Structures are given as C-alpha cells and as structure tokens.
Structure 1
Amino acid sequence: MALLTFARRLQRSHHSPLLLPALLHSHQFCSFSLAFRRTLSIPSQTSKFSSLHFFSTTTLNDPFALAPPATRTRDPQESVLLETLKRVAHVDSEAQALACLDESGINANSNLVYSLIWELREVWRLAYLAFNWGHKWGSVDEKVCELMVWVLGGCRKFNIAWCLIRDMHKSNNNTRRAMLVMIDRYAAANDPGKAIWTFHVMDKFRITPDEEAFLFLLNSLCEHGNVEEAEEFMLVSKKLFPLETEGFNIILNGWCNIFVDVFEAKRIWREMSKCCITPNATSYTHMISCFSKVGNLFDSMRLYDEMKKRGWVPGLKVYNSLVYVLTSENCFNEALKVLEKMKAMGLQPDCATYNSMILPLCEAKRLDEARNILATMTAEKHNPTVETYHAFLEGVGYEGTIEVFNRMRIAGLGPNGDTFVLVLGKFFKLEQPENALKIWTEMEQYEVVPNSAHYRLLVEGLASCGLLMKAKEYYAEMKSFGFLDDPKLMKLLKEPAHGGKDKQKQRVEEAMRDRPNKLRKEGQVGLNLSADYPGMHSISLWGCNCKSPFTGGVRLVLFELFKLRQF
C-alpha cells in the first residue's frame, strides 16, 4: 500500500500535459464536415466556463464563485489601461508607474479594477500594479481583494497574498472568502500541508473553521489531486467533524472522477460500510461514473440496479455514464435504448448525454454514427458545446482542425484556451511538431492569448521531439512575458536531446536488421559493439563480399554509429 501511495505521488508531482487521453490518427475532414452544416444557423449560448470533461461531478457550492469580467459590463476604457499597464511594466519605480496610469485621465472604479486584474491574472506584477492603482483611488472592495489573493496564490506569491489578507483584517473587512481562496491556492500548488494549516489559523482572523470550511478544504484537496491527504485529514478530524456521507462522497469523488482509480474507489466504498455510513444517490453516481470511465459495463449496470433497489432514483448523470459505457463497449444500440428510456421517464437528455455518445464514437472512428447523434442532438434543440467540437477535433489533421476552429467561431464557442491545449497535445503525441507550431501561430488569429500552460506544453513538446533550440526560444519568450520559471522545463532544456540520438540509433538498428538475407549468405562479418558502446545492446553487423568488415555498407553503418558515440 505504501508503495502504491508513493508511486501515485510521483505521478502527481511529475504530471505532464502531454499525457492526454489516447488520440486518434488524422482523417480527412470531409468525412464528417457535414455533421456541422445543420448547426451553423443555430444561435449558441456559451457557459461561463468550459471543461474538457463530459461528466460534471457533484461538488460543493464554492464560497468563492469566481465571476469572470466577461459576465459584467465591459468598460471601453479597459483596453487603454491594459496597454498602459504593459507599457509601464519595466519602469524604475511603482510610483512612476502609478503616475503614468493617472495621466491616462481614466477614473478608477471597482468593476474596472476587477476586470484589469482578471485580464492580467497570468502576470501577477501587472495585476498587482492595477490593484495598487485601484487602492490608491479607493476603488478596491472585498471582491477585488479576493481576486487579487487568488491571482497571487496562483503565481505562488503567498507572502504578498497574506499581507493583503492582514490588511483586510485590519480594515475590518470579512476575510473568510479570502482565507478559503488561500486554501484552494495552496491545494492547487500541491502544498496540502499549508492548505490544512490555513484552515487551522482561520480563528486568528476571527473566523470559525466550521463544517462548511472543513468540507471546502476536503473538496479543494481532492479537486487538485491531494485525495490521500484529504482522506487522512477527514479521519483524524472525526472528533470535531463526525464522519458523514457528504465527507466520504468528496473523497469518493476524488478517486472516481479526478484519479479514476477503481481500486481506491472500492476501498472507500468498503470503508463507508465499516464506519456505518450509508451511501446515498451521490455515492452511487460517483461509483457508476468511475466504472463507466474505465469501461466496466458489468459493475456499472450492477450498481445501477442496486441503486434502484435501495430506493434511490438515478439522475441524469447516472444515465449519461451508462450511455457512455454502453457506447464505449460497442453496445451502441443498447445506448440508444437507454436514451429512449430516459425520454419515456420524462428525463430529458442534455448536451452532456449526447456528448457521452459522440466522444466514444469519435474515438472508435465511427464518425458516421457520431454525425447521426449530432443531428439528433440539434433536432432536439440542443446546441453543440465546446466538448462536442473537441470530440471531433481528435480525429482530424491540420486542415480539418482549422475548419473545426472556424465552425466553433461561427457558433460563438471559441476556440478557447482549452481547445488549443487539446490540439497541441494531440499533435505532439502524434510526433507532428510542425503542425503544433502551425497551430501555435493560429492562436492570435482566434484571439487566444497563450498562458503558462500553453507555453509549458509547447516547450516540453518541442524538446521531446528533439527541437531543443526551438524549445529554448519559446521558453525565453515565456519568461519575457513574466511567467514563472518551471524547474522541470529548465532541467529538460539543459539536458542534451537524447531523444534525437535514440531515434537515430533505432534507425541504424532497423537498417541493420532489414538488410537482405542474401547478403548474409554471400559474406558474413560479425561485429560486437557492446564492449566499445556499453549503452548499446550487442549488435551483429553484416557485410557483403568484403575482405574487411569496414568496407561497403558496413562502413556507412559504422559512420552512423561513430556519430552516436556520446550517449
């Protein structure tokens, strides 16, 4: 058990954005372009946030429900201030920078300051400068302070964030939400110890660490991959916060929907029984979701039947999971029957329901059936979502990707930052860095500003494909925009590009293995290179009608090996 825990922590700490779900090989876009013809004339409504997941999980009501400025009335003067902030980013003093902002003649207000901080959330220095400008003119309220704490925490500037919280406390402002933001940011920074410590020091700011804050802590830890720490803290705190179904459901959600670890999910299920905790509908929903994601059709249906026998009414998420696993396991007709059953029960399928069928169909390259589901989806007055387009993106090449991007723009659905993360990861996984670089140049056309995640994905992908110099160029560009150094990328860029040499060695070995058999019969010359090249397996080199092993084709092979001597 200890070994499994250690391995899981290593996996979490070395997570790579390149480790995306298995992507499909490219296909001609014409094979499915007709799928979207019926959708272009339908107006779309975008949600506040988009996700790469088709299954939404049951989570607590976030006390810090971040409202992006896109949902507010945009100030036309915002762009002027943004340009001014970027222009004064490298001035000698903060006072001089604030003076330049004052010279713009724009009056500060809380909404404007909030919008500026949000737009600059990836560059904490400029965001903090906008905050100080608003503070100078008394245009900073609690929401602005909380957003600034969130930005600083996201950039790991926790000391400055704590200074803001102390200032809020001295000004008799309510710091509860700001403290919860700190808990979430510590969890996101993979520092569960500091997140738990923040929970314990809430009382020093005259805030009671009540059950709501306790459950929020557990949820934040799980959402950011610290499920083991959340479970341990829940168990050691059972005297103050008795074990209940809601707490176990948070842990269950972590194993079922964050890690999708069936082994751990089953263990928590058994632990609930040992602690006399009765599973509720949410518990069954999480377990069915977990089994469906790993393609376990039998246990998904078994828990579905058990859920109904115990009096719990399966909700839409349960049926979405069943539709997904049935489609994934080549039971498409049965999935359609479940769809009809939902309608007969008065449970109307939503976009996630249809996406749950479209995704596995696209993964299985069954694009005709995916187009039919898309047609049904639009006929039922359900507009395609970002996830719908993402599903079709996985099966196309560069030209098809651009076509889908254009259709997303017409539908008012992006493409957004998540879309480019998905596409960049796909092309790097297919070892097509040239297409990834083409996609990178398209980001500006679609008004998507690269953030730190995009740069990290690009740099790591280029380095992994052997384009070390190009990776260094983009890493320097990343730092020039104020993004933090990434120790993993720095180490990757300092190391020699072993990947390229390994591929060359592989090509040499394949060339030697593929030499015609007749050459072996005409003249055989064996040469063991393991003594001179300890890093290489013993290889037999075969020559042809040569008095010396260093003539003819062997000489070319040895020349290639000589170039690879330093490995």
Structure 2
Amino acid sequence: MALLSLARRLLRMHSQILFPFLLQHPETIPSSLASSSIQQRHFLSLAFHQTFFISSQTPLLTSHFSTLQSLSAQTLNYQFEFSPPPIHDPDPQEPALLHLLKRVAHFSSEAEAMASLDESGIKATQGLVCSVIWKMREEWRLAFLAFKWGEKWGSSGENSYELMVWVLGNHRKFNMAWCLIRDLYRFSMDTRRAMFIIIDRYAAASDPCTAIQTFHTMEKFRMTPDEEAFRTLLKALCRYGNIEEAEEIMLVNKKLFPLAADGFNIILNGWCNVLVDVFEAKRVWREMSKYCIIPNGTSYTHMISCFSKVGNLFDSLRLYDEMKKRGWNPGIEVYNSLVYVLTHENCLNEAYNILKEMKKAGLQPDSATYNSMIRPLCEAEKVEEARNILSTMKEENLSPTIETYHAFLHGVGFEGTLEVLNHMKIASLGPTGDTFIFVLGKFFKMEQPEHALKIWAEMKHFEVLPDSSHYIALVEGLASSGWLVEAREYYDEMRSCGFLDDPKLKKILEEPKQHSGSKRQRGPKEIKKSKQLNAWKGKKVRRKKKVNANEK
C-alpha cells in the first residue's frame, strides 16, 4: 500500500507539471493553450495535408463482454456515453454533406475547404451539424470541420459544442476541447455539462489526476463543484478502473461532501462490476460499517453481482436473503445475478425457480435475464441447452440481443462462429467491431492463429472496417503464437493505414528476424516438440553406441 500511495503521489506531481494553465483565470486559459482560433486553424490545416483515413485514431472506448452488462463502449448506462442525436425527420442534405466533407479533406487548406462547403448550397442547421458530427465521430478532423462550418453560419448550439468536446476527448485532442469550453464560457453559454464530459474523457484516457484537477478548476468557470459534480467525478474515475483514487478523494473530502451510502455505492460498483475484485468489495463493505453507513438496496445489488460473477453461490444467496430481511426489494439486476450464478454452478432447475420468484414479485424476465443463463451454458460448451433457453426466450416474445449472440460465440468453433456471425447480420445486430475483437482473442487463446486470420478476412464480408484496436489484437496474437513474419506484415499494414505506432508491439516485433526465409516462425509448442524429438533421437544414438561397445 505504501508503494501504491507513493506512485499516486508521483503521478499527481507529474500531472501538476503538465497541467498548470487550467488553474488560471478562464480568460487566460486559452492563451496558455494557444488562442482558440489559432489553435483550431492550426490543427484543422493539418487535416488537409493527409487523407481523411489517417485521422482515425483509437477512441477512448473499450468494450467488455459480459452478459450482466451492456456491450456499449463503456458498458454502463452512463450520461456521457452519447447516442445518435434524436432526429425524427432526417435532413435530406446530410448524405451530400457527408460526401462533400470526405472530398474536401484532401484540399490543401482550411480556407479552400470552407469555401467549397459554402458554395455547395447546403443550408446549415443545428440538427444537421449535430448529426454529421456524430456520423464523423471516428474522423475528428472532419467532425471538427463540420462543427466550424456550422459555427460560421450560427448553427452550433450547446449540444454541438458538447458533442464536439466528447469527440475531441475521445481522440485525446484535449487542448482543442478546452478551446471549445472557453468559447462556451465567452459566449455566456452553459459550460457545466461540457466540463463533466472532459472530466469523463480524462478518466477514459487513464489520466485520473487531470480529471481530479479539472473538477477543482470548475470554480474558475464560475461553477460550483457541488454534490452532483463530485459524484460525476467519482463515477468517471471508477468507470475506468481508477477506484483507489476515487475512494481516496471521497474520504479526503468527507467534510465538504459528507459520506453517504450513495458515495460508497459508486466505489462498490467499481470494485464489483468494473474490476470484479471480491476482496476489495468486502473491504469497502466493512468500511461502510466503520463510518456508520447502512447499506441500501443498491449496495446489496452490487455485492450480489460481484459474488455471482466469481461463482460464489453461497454468499450470493446469503446476501439475497439478508437483503429481503432488511426490507429491500430485490430488483431485476439481483435476480439476473442469481440466475447467472445458479446456471454457472450447474443448478439449472434452481435458476428456473428464481425466474418463478421474479414473476411472483411482479417482475418480468427480460433479454438480459435469459442471456444470464445462456452465457454460462455456452462457456461450459452446453450449446444445445443454451439453444433451448433461446427458444424459451422467443416463446416469451423476447428478441435476442447482441449480447445473446456474443454469448453463443463462447461455445462454438470456427464454423459455428461464422454461423453466429451470419445470424447476427440477418437480425441486424452486427457483428460489430467489438464482436471481432472478441473472436480474434478467442482463437488466439485457443492457439488457433490460422482461424484468427480467416476471421480477419471475413471482416470485410460483414462490412466492418478494422481500426487500430483490431490491428493491435491481431498483431499481438500472431506474435504470441510465434507467427512473427505475419505479425510484422500486418503491423506494416497498420502503419500504412495511418494508425500510430504502438510501443508494446514495436518492442515485440523488434526481436531478431531469424528464419526470415520461412513463411512463419515456429510457435512455442512446435519448438518444444522439436526439442523433445531431438532429445529422444539423442537417447537412441547413445543406446546404439552403448550396445556396440558391449558387443566389442
């Protein structure tokens, strides 16, 4: 613990060196980061010297395959996980604007690109600008060009500013994001949500110290860092695994923000559902008692979820009974957790009994409930039983979700994987980029790199364009399987597509290029087998020599 505390202090010191300007008065912030207009023109001008594809960087979004959680980029129903803007009547100008943006990306200057947009005859509206920024969110330069064009014609409202801050934060363009926040402040628009968004994006970028300091910077923008802002900070930190920092901040600020069950529940959620650390979850549970905080229904829900995920049936049921005795009505999340752990522990009949209890309590099983049964069955390669559950699910008029299909991917081989992917396409539920990340990892874990390469080829058939996370998964998997020649080829392809170098991969691939004439280098199993064969041959030769010596 002493070493962890020291590391955190060093990280904070480093962050303070890199983040001094945000503590200044808002009017001086932009000048220290460079003025917004100069900064924006500089970054945007760079876009026109590169192809629009080069701008694709890995967004700060990760996915987790869990039946008990959503597969969306940050797996939780979170207020800053943007969804497509609600447009009842799509703007008929949108396709033309998207096409034009991709074309002007190749122009030599921003002024030329803007002139082309102005001459297109397309009329800027706030809805159109927001929709186009969303559609171009993976290409931040083009999204930013659309934003600037909308701003020029007075069609950039608070929503488009906030969405653009989120997009820039996804691509680690924080200086530009701060320029937009400064503009919101200068135009007397509400900066509160934009500040929450950038706190969340710093946490997603594994920079918890800057996220914390941004919270303290809110006063400089005439905003009170109140209870809501503090809870937002804690949630952002926990959501991306910085749970120790969140807990420390909560305890340090207990005089300003009194300790309560809601705050501890945020920390519990981090240990129970993000990192799934039972030891730490139990410790926080004890801490609540130490501070005279009585657990509420949410506290029990998180703990039951944690115990179920690690297969602890006894404690899951114990807390379920305790929860009811204390007067807390279990919600559907609790029943889903119990269904999962019972199925996982081969208690399928008892899992069905839990479904009956749910209905008696006035709750209807949903898709997530049945997914909680399908997932452990598929993991145990009981695919037929899982299909029976799927049939029951359909009889209840519940449609399979993307998580349903992802669950089936656990229990099938190569041909079965293709079948599931085809079903997903027919059902218009993907497959998505996250699906292929999982499938690639699955085949590398099964030591089947040849099937991983076949799946890579299938991505085009399913109209999924690989991003840097796909290339990293493929190259790392090939290298760990001993296929260094292919790994280097795909790494070169990744670089040629404009993705940044990955230091970890670069180090792996810098190993001596032996056997360069062969198609691939032998994997660890083949090398071990070869050594065993040579050792056996050596013993055989020694036995022959010994026999010959005895004959003499």
Secondary structure of the equivalent of 1:84?
helix
* Deviation at residue 294 of structure 1 after TM alignment: 0.5
**Cα gap change, 1:359 to 1:516, in 2 (>3 Å):** farther
Q: Which residue of 2 aligns with 1:511?
A: 533
Larger mean CA deviation between 160-169 and 111-120 belongs to 111-120
- 1:126 maps to a residue whose letter is L
Q: Which residue of 1 aligns with 2:352?
A: 336
Structure 1 residues 192-213: Cα deviation after superposition (integer angstroms, max 9, x where no partner)? 0000011001111121111011
Larger mean CA deviation between 498-507 and 274-283 belongs to 498-507
Question: For 1:520 and 1:76, how far apart are their aligned partners in 2?
Answer: 83
Secondary structure of the equivalent of 2:460?
coil
Larger mean CA deviation between 306-315 and 100-109 belongs to 100-109
- Is the Cα–Cα contact under 8 Å of residues 176 and 207 in structure 1 kept in the other structure? yes
* Deviation at residue 510 of structure 1 after TM alignment: 2.3
| Paired residues for 1:467-546 under 5 Å | 467-496=483-512, 500=522, 502=524, 505-515=527-537, 520-523=542-545
| Paired residues for 1:394-405 under 5 Å | 394-405=410-421
- Is the Cα–Cα contact under 8 Å of residues 54 and 355 in structure 1 kept in the other structure? yes
Q: Which residue of 2 aligns with 1:17?
A: none
5+ long unaligned stretches in structure 2: 10-61, 515-520
Q: Which residue of 2 aligns with 1:210?
A: 226
- Is the Cα–Cα contact under 8 Å of residues 455 and 474 in structure 1 kept in the other structure? yes
Percent identity of the aligned residues? Answer: 65
- Is the Cα–Cα contact under 8 Å of residues 122 and 483 in structure 1 kept in the other structure? no
2:337 aligned to which of 321, 324, 342: 321
| Paired residues for 1:72-91 under 5 Å | 73-91=89-107
- 2:368 maps to a residue whose letter is A
* Deviation at residue 214 of structure 1 after TM alignment: 0.5
Structure 1 residues 408-438: Cα deviation after superposition (integer angstroms, max 9, x where no partner)? 1222212122212211211222233332233
* Deviation at residue 501 of structure 1 after TM alignment: 7.0
- Is the Cα–Cα contact under 8 Å of residues 222 and 254 in structure 1 kept in the other structure? yes
**Cα gap change, 1:334 to 1:251, in 2 (>3 Å):** same
Larger mean CA deviation between 220-229 and 391-400 belongs to 391-400
Structure 1 residues 122-159: Cα deviation after superposition (integer angstroms, max 9, x where no partner)? 23222222222222222211111111111111111111
| Paired residues for 1:41-52 under 5 Å | 52=65
Question: For 1:239 and 1:4, how far apart are their aligned partners in 2?
Answer: 25
Question: For 1:455 and 1:320, how far apart are their aligned partners in 2?
Answer: 35
1:101 aligned to which of 109, 114, 117: 117
- 1:144 maps to a residue whose letter is S
Q: Which residue of 1 aligns with 2:211?
A: 195
Question: For 1:307 and 1:462, how far apart are their aligned partners in 2?
Answer: 48
Question: For 2:483 and 2:117, how far apart are their aligned partners in 1?
Answer: 41
| Paired residues for 1:265-280 under 5 Å | 265-280=281-296
1:438 aligned to which of 427, 439, 454: 454
| Paired residues for 1:99-138 under 5 Å | 99-138=115-154
Q: Which residue of 1 aligns with 2:68?
A: 55
Question: For 1:132 and 1:88, how far apart are their aligned partners in 2?
Answer: 14
Point out which structure has higher relative CO (alpha carbons under 8 A, 6+ apart).
1
**Cα gap change, 1:458 to 1:501, in 2 (>3 Å):** closer
- 1:312 maps to a residue whose letter is W
- Is the Cα–Cα contact under 8 Å of residues 482 and 524 in structure 2 kept in the other structure? no
- 1:311 maps to a residue whose letter is G
* Deviation at residue 271 of structure 1 after TM alignment: 0.4
* Deviation at residue 280 of structure 1 after TM alignment: 0.3
Question: Aligned pairs, how many?
Answer: 489
Question: For 1:81 and 1:379, how far apart are their aligned partners in 2?
Answer: 45
Q: Which residue of 1 aligns with 2:47?
A: none
- Is the Cα–Cα contact under 8 Å of residues 389 and 408 in structure 1 kept in the other structure? yes
- 1:190 maps to a residue whose letter is S
Structure 1 residues 312-353: Cα deviation after superposition (integer angstroms, max 9, x where no partner)? 111111111111111111212221222222223332111111
| Paired residues for 1:141-290 under 5 Å | 141-290=157-306
Question: For 1:184 and 1:309, how far apart are their aligned partners in 2?
Answer: 38
The alignment yields a C-alpha RMSD, in angstroms, of 3.0
Larger mean CA deviation between 480-489 and 363-372 belongs to 480-489
Question: For 2:476 and 2:412, how far apart are their aligned partners in 1?
Answer: 23
**Residue 323 of structure 2 corresponds to residue 310 of structure 1:** no
- Is the Cα–Cα contact under 8 Å of residues 218 and 224 in structure 2 kept in the other structure? yes
Larger mean CA deviation between 230-239 and 444-453 belongs to 444-453
- 1:146 maps to a residue whose letter is E
* Deviation at residue 380 of structure 1 after TM alignment: 0.8
- Is the Cα–Cα contact under 8 Å of residues 342 and 349 in structure 1 kept in the other structure? yes
TM-score using structure 2 length: 0.81
Question: For 2:472 and 2:80, how far apart are their aligned partners in 1?
Answer: 27
Question: For 1:114 and 1:5, how far apart are their aligned partners in 2?
Answer: 43
- 2:175 maps to a residue whose letter is N
Q: Which residue of 1 aligns with 2:393?
A: 377
Q: Which residue of 2 aligns with 1:32?
A: none
- 1:392 maps to a residue whose letter is F
TM-score using structure 1 length: 0.79
Question: For 2:288 and 2:535, how far apart are their aligned partners in 1?
Answer: 57
- Is the Cα–Cα contact under 8 Å of residues 123 and 482 in structure 1 kept in the other structure? no
**Residue 316 of structure 2 corresponds to residue 300 of structure 1:** yes
Question: For 1:513 and 1:341, how far apart are their aligned partners in 2?
Answer: 62
Question: For 1:468 and 1:101, how far apart are their aligned partners in 2?
Answer: 46
Q: Name the one with the larger helix percent.
A: 2
Larger mean CA deviation between 370-379 and 342-351 belongs to 342-351
Question: For 1:228 and 1:464, how far apart are their aligned partners in 2?
Answer: 32
**Residue 451 of structure 2 corresponds to residue 429 of structure 1:** no
- 2:357 maps to a residue whose letter is K
Question: For 1:61 and 1:392, how far apart are their aligned partners in 2?
Answer: 24
**Cα gap change, 1:461 to 1:67, in 2 (>3 Å):** same
Larger mean CA deviation between 206-215 and 121-130 belongs to 121-130
